[in-house]
Amino acid sequence: MLRTVASVLVTSARTAGAVALTAVLTVCGNHSLDPNETAFHVRSLNLVKESPTLEIDVDDTTLFTAGYGRATRFTAGDPGQHTLSFSAILPPDLRDDDETATRVSGASAYTFLAGTEYTVVAYGTMDDLRTFIIEGLDQREHVEDDKLVLQFTHASPDTPAVDVYVTAVKAGITSRYYVDTLSLTETSDPLELSLIRSEDDSAENSALSADVVIELMVADTNELLYRSDAITFAERNRVMMAIASNLELLPVSDAAL
């Protein structure tokens, strides 16, 4: 019997014109990047437990607004040190005439480098808002035909270190495949899958897809914490999946890029 835990795997996949399943964080990876460009690019993901919509400020400017489980667009900025801070958007019945948001904990200073993209993950609780940054160009790079790229990040203080496994028959993974062991704030390297067409699939020019099952085990044990239903992902997608503190999957969508 599976142990009940306050954790879910929240996923997103941006496909042609539509968001697949319960979307939290994703990129369709067909952008051309110049690592010598003079700007950095940043987006934010709100995984703060039981949070309202959050405003995310970079220095004195509000760049992002994100509800729980939502990822924002990438936004360009000037390199250097910047302070990130957060405000909760107040519901109408709690607002004064001149106040629509209230500052919450969690201000942090980071140094951002040119030609680099960052995902700022906000997690924890409204009384103890924390952040960590996923850094690198991977999330906006091109994904080839017949390929699917998966990546995992751990943003749940309620969940121990986990071993991450995937099964994807149409990527040649017919049994549980070990991806990585993740503790809180750690992110796996991208996992590239090569999708294959079924022998009985007569539509040779149709887009490829794969049903993926994700399992989380307590690290270095056989104790199963979470097993997803089969999640269908299409080729040429780059998908980031976050382990988040929540009791159910969120019916939300990602921000267009």
Residue 208's pLDDT band, with cuts at 50, 70 and 90, is very high
* In contact, 112 and 135? CB cutoff 8 Å: no
Task: Tell me what the mean pLDDT of segment 30-37 comes to.
Answer: 55
How far apart, in whole angstroms, are the C-alpha atoms of residue 55 and residue 67? Answer: 9
In a domain, 209, yes or no: yes
Between 149 and 34, the more confident residue is 149
| pLDDT attached to residue 23 | 34
Domain end (from 102, 136, 170): 136
How far apart, in whole angstroms, are the C-alpha atoms of residue 204 and residue 226? Answer: 35
117 shares a domain with 50:
yes
Helix (H, G, I), strand (E, B) or coil at 171: helix
Between 231 and 35, the more confident residue is 231
Structure-token pair, residue 146: 């017949």
167 shares a domain with 79:
no
In a domain, 216, yes or no: yes
Domain end (from 136, 156, 175): 136
Residue 180's pLDDT band, with cuts at 50, 70 and 90, is very high
Helix (H, G, I), strand (E, B) or coil at 139: helix
**Does the pLDDT value for residue 247 go beyond 50?**
no
Tokens 């990129």 belong to which residue?
A: 27
In a domain, 104, yes or no: yes
218 shares a domain with 207:
yes
How far apart, in whole angstroms, are the C-alpha atoms of residue 11 and residue 231? Answer: 9
Task: Tell me what the mean pLDDT of segment 234-252 comes to.
Answer: 68
How far apart, in whole angstroms, are the C-alpha atoms of residue 63 and residue 58? Answer: 7
46 shares a domain with 26:
no
In a domain, 251, yes or no: no
- Structure confidence by residue, pLDDT tens digits, 134-147: 987 555 567 888 99
124 shares a domain with 65:
yes
Domain end (from 136, 156, 186): 136
* In contact, 92 and 108? CB cutoff 8 Å: no
Task: Tell me what the mean pLDDT of segment 219-225 comes to.
Answer: 92
| pLDDT attached to residue 106 | 72
118 shares a domain with 73:
yes
| Domain enclosing residue 55, as ranges | 34-136
Residue length, the chain? 257
233 shares a domain with 146:
yes
Least confident range from 15-19, 30-34, 35-39, 48-52: namely 15-19
Structural domains in the chain (count): 2
Tokens 């690019």 belong to which residue?
A: 41
How far apart, in whole angstroms, are the C-alpha atoms of residue 189 and residue 149? Answer: 10
227 shares a domain with 100:
no
How far apart, in whole angstroms, are the C-alpha atoms of residue 209 and residue 193? Answer: 11
Task: Tell me what the mean pLDDT of segment 166-172 comes to.
Answer: 96
Average pLDDT score over the chain: 77
Task: Report which DSSP code applies to 208.
Answer: P
How far apart, in whole angstroms, are the C-alpha atoms of residue 38 and residue 203? Answer: 44
23 shares a domain with 51:
no
Most confidently predicted of 13-22, 29-38, 108-117: 108-117
In a domain, 9, yes or no: yes
* In contact, 107 and 77? CB cutoff 8 Å: no
In a domain, 252, yes or no: no
| pLDDT attached to residue 90 | 72
68 shares a domain with 123:
yes
Say which CATH number the domain at 64 has.
2.60.40.1120
- Structure confidence by residue, pLDDT tens digits, 49-104: 888 888 888 998 888 888 888 888 888 899 999 999 988 887 765 556 556 778 88
Between 255 and 110, the more confident residue is 110
Predicted TM-score of the model (pTM):
0.80
**Does the pLDDT value for residue 24 go beyond 80?**
no
Tokens 């040429």 belong to which residue?
A: 236
145 shares a domain with 226:
yes
In a domain, 212, yes or no: yes
In a domain, 253, yes or no: no
* In contact, 35 and 115? CB cutoff 8 Å: yes
27 shares a domain with 48:
no
